[in-house]
Amino acid sequence: MNLIVDVGNTFVKIAVFQDDKLLEKQSVAVSEFKETQKIFFDKYPKIQKSILSSVGNLPEEALVNLKKRCEVLILDASLKFPFNNCYATPHTLGVDRMALVTASIKNYPNQNVLIIDAGSCITYDFVTTNNDYLGGAISPGIRLRYKSLHQLTANLPLLDTEMPKTIVGDTTAGAIHSGVVLGIIKEIDGVIADYRENYSDLTVILTGGDAIFLSKQLKNSIFANSNFLLEGLNFILEYNTH
C-alpha cells in the first residue's frame, strides 16, 4: 500500500493506492499536512512506502515525521522514468510534469499524447509513440490571469472565476471573464489543433484543478482525468522500488 504526497504552493494532495487502485485522496492546506498524514496512517496501517513530489515548501518537521512512518522516495530527476527525456534542460523540468508524462506512458503506451495540466499554470507536455518526451509549453492559469489583471493594473477588480455568457463583455466584469476564461479555452483548443496537424492520432489528456470546469467548453475531443498526476506518482514509486 502506497501513500502519495503532492505538495503544491498552497495545498497538499494526499492519496492512498493499493496496487493501481486509488482508495482515497484529500487536499489540505500545507499547515494541516502533519495531522492529516497521521489520520491516513491510522486508517491505513498497511502503508509501507511513500513518494513525495514538491513544487512548494513542506515544513522539515512534516517530512521527518513522514520518514518515521514509512520508506519515503523523493521525486527528482535522478530517479528512473519510463520515457526518454529529450528536454534540452532536464534539470529545470518540474517534477509534476515528469509525473504527468509517466502517467501517460502507463495509461496510453505507444501513443502520441498531449497532457494539459490546468492548475496555477497551464502546462502542455508531449510524448511520442516511441516514449520520447519532447517538451511543451507553460502559460498562466485561470486564477493567475484574474490576479494579474487586478494586481498589475490600477482599477480592474479581482473576480471569481465565471463562465461568460457571451464573448462580447458589455461590462468591465464581463470583459474580464471573456478575456480570461474564453481566452484560455481558445488557447487550449488552438494548441490541440496545432498538434493534431502534425499528429492525427493524438490522444489529449486534460487534468488539474480547472480540468472539469474547462472540459465542458472545449471543442476538441479530450479525456479529463483529475487523478492523472497521482496515478503517475504511484507508478514512479512502483517503478523505482521493484
Annotated domain spans of the chain: 2-74, 84-233
Distance, CA of 224 to CA of 242 (rounded, Å): 30
pLDDT by residue for the chain (242 residues), tens only, comes to 999 999 887 789 999 999 889 999 999 988 888 889 889 999 999 999 999 998 767 778 888 888 999 999 999 888 999 999 999 998 889 888 999 999 999 999 999 999 999 988 999 999 999 999 999 999 999 999 999 999 999 999 999 999 998 999 999 999 999 999 999 999 999 999 999 999 989 999 999 989 989 988 888 878 999 899 999 999 999 999 97
Distance, CA of 193 to CA of 213 (rounded, Å): 20
- In eight-state DSSP terms, residue 56 is S
Question: Could you tell me which residues come within 8 angstroms of residue 177 by beta carbon, excluding any fewer than 6 positions away?
Answer: 159, 162, 163, 164, 169
The predicted pLDDT at position 217 comes to 86
Q: How far is CA 185 from CA 127, 153, 189, in A?
A: 22, 23, 6
- In eight-state DSSP terms, residue 74 is E
Distance, CA of 146 to CA of 3 (rounded, Å): 34
The predicted pLDDT at position 56 comes to 67
Query: Would you say 100 and 234 are in contact if contact means Cβ atoms under 8 Å apart?
Result: no
Which residue is associated with the grid cell 497532457?
115
Same fold, 2-74 and 84-233: yes
Query: Would you say 177 and 164 are in contact if contact means Cβ atoms under 8 Å apart?
Result: yes
Which residue is associated with the grid cell 509501507?
48
- State which amino acid sits at residue 226: S
Phi, psi of 239 (to 5 degrees): -65, -30
Return the exposure string of 108-145: e unless at least 16 CB atoms fall within 10 Å of the residue's CB, then b. beebbbbbbbbbbebbbbbbbeebebeebeeebbbbeb
The architecture CATH gives domain 2-74: 2-Layer Sandwich (3.30)
> Helices (DSSP H) in 119-227: which residue ranges?
142-151, 172-177, 183-198, 211-215
- State which amino acid sits at residue 62: A
Q: Tell me the sheet residues that pair with 206.
A: 116, 224
Distance, CA of 23 to CA of 14 (rounded, Å): 11
Looking at the annotation, which residues are catalytic? 96
Identify how many contiguous H helices and E strands the chain contains and give both numbers: 8, 11
- In eight-state DSSP terms, residue 113 is E
> Does the predicted model carry a pTM greater than 0.85?
yes
- In eight-state DSSP terms, residue 19 is T
Fold of 84-233: Nucleotidyltransferase; domain 5 (3.30.420)
